[in-house]
Every structure is written in structure tokens, then in C-alpha cells.
Amino acid sequence: MCLSLLCVSTALTAGEPKYGCKRVHGANAQVNPSPRGLPPMVIGDSTVILPIPNLTAVGYSVNARGCRGFREATAVAAKLRCKHRLPHLVLINDYGNGGINSDRIQEALDVLGTSRVLGLVTEYNADTGRPPAPDTDVLFQARKRYPHRIVVLDWVKFSRRHHAAEPKAGAWFLPDLYHPNYTGAAAYAQFLSRALPLARDGRFP
């Protein structure tokens, strides 16, 4: 039964992204790590826009919009489920804008159902660029409560030693210290690829 949540359109992106709040950027996975099912998906905010080519190359489809919050990401997942297009593995990182709480995560789990895996990706603070974003601890609490339904990908911990702004050597971020630069975008996709073994139907953490 479809859930009555807001609809979000998708559009292809190319080249340098604009981090506005209006446009939805989308692209399909170039390879499918789940041959008998749908490729996994990242439903993200503006931090996912620049890495889109990198993410699709490793096997993720992407739906991203600047300023997106967690509840909207859940709505996108609900719409995909109504269309029978929701994959087994869904990654969401959209709490840098507006925060997150246990109720929001429960809503996402309810939309995905018990047969899918929810991946939660940690973020930096969208306003200050400082690590980590407020309420990050909620992600780890949710994983502890649902160890076989939730996987947490700690991007903040992984990228921390490169958390500097270009043109500094080894920097993975733009001057706002929130959005990845091109080097960071490649690293982001490679890091998220660690969850790809969970993309096949029947695989759980």
C-alpha cells in the first residue's frame, strides 16, 4: 500500500553542480551490484551532487537535492516503493539540514519495510562545516536498536584527516568544509562502496 508522502521529480545532472535548493539531480547506476534486483540508491542532499558520477560508477543510483531534509528523503523512498522501484539497499545522508531524531529514522524503516536495508551516512555540520552534524549520535543509537536493518557509514570519521579546504594539499572539501571537492567526491563514492555487499536481496548487516 502506497504511503501518502510528497513527490519529488528527478533530472539528470552534468558538469559542475549548482548547490541550489530547487533542482533535483538524478542519475542511474552504471553497473548493478545486485544482478537479480535493482541497483542500490543514495537519496541525498547537496553533498551528494558533485559525487554523482563517482557514485553511479561504483553502482549507486542517485537522487539528490540541495537543502533536502531527512523527512523529504523518506518521502522520495516512499514514492519509489509505490512504483516498485525501491531497491534492497537505500542510503540516506540528509540530516545536515534540519537534524534527525529516532522518529524520523523509524519512519524511514517503516517505508523500507523489513526486507530492505537502510544505510545512514554521517555528515558534517551544514552551517559551520564542523564535525559531526548535530544529532549524529542518533544514527548510531538506531543501528544499535536495529543491527540487522541499519548500517551506518561514518563518512565524518573516514574523511576527518582530509577535512580541509582546497587548495590546501590533501584537502577533500570546498571552502565551506561541508561539500566535497572533486578529490573528496571520488573518496566519498569509494567509501560508500563498502556497503555494496548489502545490495543483493536477502543480504543484511
Element (H, E) at 26: strand 24-27
Q: Which CATH number fits domain 24-198: 3.30.565.10, 3.55.40.20, 3.40.50.1110, 3.30.450.40?
A: 3.40.50.1110
pLDDT, tens digit, 9 for 90 and up, residues 72-107: 999 999 999 999 999 999 999 999 988 999 999 999
pLDDT, tens digit, 9 for 90 and up, residues 53-73: 999 999 999 999 999 999 999
Q: What is the 3-state secondary structure (H, E, C) of 84-97?
A: CCCCCEEEECCCCC
- Using DSSP's 3-state secondary structure scheme, residue 64 falls into strand
Mean pLDDT of 146-172: 97
Identity of the amino acid at 132: P
* Local confidence band at 17 (pLDDT 50, 70, 90 cut-offs): low
List the chain domain ranges: 24-198
Stated pTM of the model: 0.91
